[in-house]
Amino acid sequence: MGFKRIKLVIEYDGSFFHGWQVQNNQLSVQGEIEKAIFKITGEKVSVTGSGRTDAGVHAFGQVAHFDTQSRIPAEKFAVVLNTVLPPSIAVISSKEVSPDFHARFSAIKKTYKYKVLNRPMRSPIMDKRAWHVPWPLDIESMNRAAAYFIGRHDFTAFCASGHNVKNFVREIYVSEWTEEEGCFVYTVTGNGFLYNMVRIMTGTMVEVGLNKRSAENIPELLEKKNRRLAGITAPPYGLYLWEVFYDEENPNGRPGREECFGGDDE
Amino acid sequence: MGFKRIKLVIEYDGSFFHGWQVQNNQLSVQGEIEKAIFKITGEKVSVTGSGRTDAGVHAFGQVAHFDTQSRIPAEKFAVVLNTVLPPSIAVISSKEVSPDFHARFSAIKKTYKYKVLNRPMRSPIMDKRAWHVPWPLDIESMNRAAAYFIGRHDFTAFCASGHNVKNFVREIYVSEWTEEEGCFVYTVTGNGFLYNMVRIMTGTMVEVGLNKRSAENIPELLEKKNRRLAGITAPPYGLYLWEVFYDEENPNGRPGREECFGGDDE
């Protein structure tokens, strides 16, 4: 019997979940979406995300796919799922894609943002939505540091240890700090990310902004490939998976994609 | 024995509270601040706000004052209070002011913002922080409507009934819609506001944006002074008390201030 593959774009407030991935007896985004699909179709499906996000990490544009035999039109899934999903998750769009499409392996680029609230006092409105750094940050030197990440590098120094990855080389296309609504916001786009990579890059750049290390330390860290020399891992609740990019004309992607998207992710 | 008067600037996430004002057995912002002051000084003080905010309404810059005999330096109150306040409330600054200063009666202007999320799907990240209007809004006609509020008008049509106010005349200095981070944001500054005034103005302008009424209906509503002819009351969780302005050189304010700040507020 035929099935169709549906692509979902998903927003969630990560502070309510133990991360994207289904885990025993823990509230997960994936689990809530699978439950919602069961409620409306009666099908027990497995939802595949573009990558995991840790507990507390938010998403504006997580992408996932699943297969269904339901007659609900693909575009209607978003509206119908939102009626049964909790307020902390919403499907922004849904559409039918080729059975070759894979949320993880077809991805060609991802954008993350990281929000830092930089002022003396904490902010109730930004609670669990930004990292509060109360000491003044030098955004110019942070931007000098950010520029060193652009290009193709070995990110071993910026990857949490204990994970089963072989290739630590990733290419970064965009890496910059801007100021938005009283926060410093780091935007990074790359062809793939290692586990905790954006959070370690952010923690290291915040140390640059606090004058604890110089921007010129970044190329040295990339060179030395030693996690211990890099900075702290910034907390999860400032991180947003912003957008996942696909070449939908060519969902099988480019050769060697699994090198970047087969390993652990943020 | 001498006392000093302290002015606080306060931010809070209104979704956690039954409003600013202390009510029987309900969680209120005022009550939490009074408890926090008691914890650090041992004094049972009464905290006076610039005005009430309803359940769900947020504040970036609520102002309040209280009197204390504590030896804690005025500027330190902010830091110390934040250590005992819940994450949903923070004191942004504290300072000593003249005993003539009154958070409500000395205020000369207030700014509110109202956030409308205008897209088909709801947003988990903006849940309880913006009003979700899923149908397309015409921001140009909403801005034409907003401009009619500028100046000195009788706002009877934009005041919830059943409140003990005699003078419905208020002066509006700024009234405009802008686009910020995917939301339409209404900014309004005036010399005072009636109960639910900003929410009824917003609800009415959203009806203009949906083409349910024309922008040119606003002067007519101001003229006819009938609440029933105006639009719906926009929900509380999109509203932010943004800033309260004072002439601190002259805390007794201008004559007739109680006309604007003696009545009920948002």
End-to-end CA distance of chain B: 36
Q: How close does chain B come to A164, measured CA to CA in Å? A: 32
Co-location of A125 and A88 in the same domain: no
| B208 DSSP 8-state letter | H
Beta carbons of A125 and B11 less than 8 Å apart? yes
Place of tokens 């692509």: A7
Residue length of chain B: 266
Cβ atoms of A42 and A86 closer than 8 Å: no
Taking an 8 Å cut-off on Cβ atoms, the answer to whether A90 and B180 are in contact is no
Same domain as B142, residue B37: no
Query: Which of A238-242, A243-247, B42-46, B158-162 is the least confident region?
Result: B158-162
Instruction: Name residue B246's beta-bridge partners.
Output: B107
Is residue A183 scored above 50 in pLDDT? Answer: yes
Question: Do the beta carbons of residue B95 and residue B79 sit within 8 Å?
Answer: no
Give the Cα separation of B236 and B130 in Å (integer): 9
Asked if B188 and B225 sit in the same domain, the reply is yes
CA angle, A18 as apex, A12 and A21 as ends, to 5°? 80
If one counts the domains in chain A, the total is: 2
For residue A130, the 8-state DSSP code is: S
- How many Å apart are CA B198 and CA B116, to the nearest integer? 13
Q: Does B123 touch chain A (CB under 8 A)?
A: yes
> B169 pairs with which residues across the strands?
B154
- Quote the tokens at residue A200: 């370690």
Is residue A241 scored above 80 in pLDDT? yes
| Containing structural domain, residue A93 | 4-97
How far apart are the CA of A97 and the nearest CA of chain B, in angstroms? 21
Last residue of a domain, one of A45, A76, A97: A97
Segment holding B184, helix H or strand E: strand B183-190
- For residue A127, the chain B residues in CB contact (below 8 A) are 13, 87-88
Euclidean distance between CA atoms B266 and B112, whole angstroms: 10
The minimum CA-CA distance between A203 and chain B, rounded to whole Å, is: 23
- Domain at A236, CATH number: 3.30.70.660
Q: Output B265 or A128, whichever has higher pLDDT.
A: A128
Mutate to test the interface with B, among A17, A60, A125 (most CBs of B within 10 A): A125
Question: Where are any strands of DSSP class E within chain B?
Answer: 4-12, 48-49, 58-68, 89-97, 107-117, 131-132, 151-154, 169-180, 183-190, 239-246
Q: How many CB atoms lie within 10 A of CB B140?
A: 11
Instruction: Look up residue B95 and give its two tokens.
Output: 């300072």
Mark yes or no for CB contact A87/B125 under 8 Å: no
Do A113 and A241 lie in one domain? The reply is yes
CB distance B262 to B194 below 8 Å: no
On whether both A139 and A174 belong to a single domain, the answer is: yes
Over residues B177-199, mean pLDDT: 95
Per-residue model confidence (pLDDT) at position B265? 58
pLDDT value at B15 more than 90: yes
Q: What percent of chain B has pLDDT over 90?
A: 87
Q: Is A60 in the same domain as A179?
A: no
Shared domain check, B78 and B207: no
Measure the CA angle with vertex B73, ends B70 and B79; round to 5°: 105
In this structure, the answer to whether residues B175 and B54 fall within a common structural domain is no
Say which range, B106-115, B164-173, B242-251, has the weakest mean pLDDT.
B242-251
pLDDT at residue number B253: 55
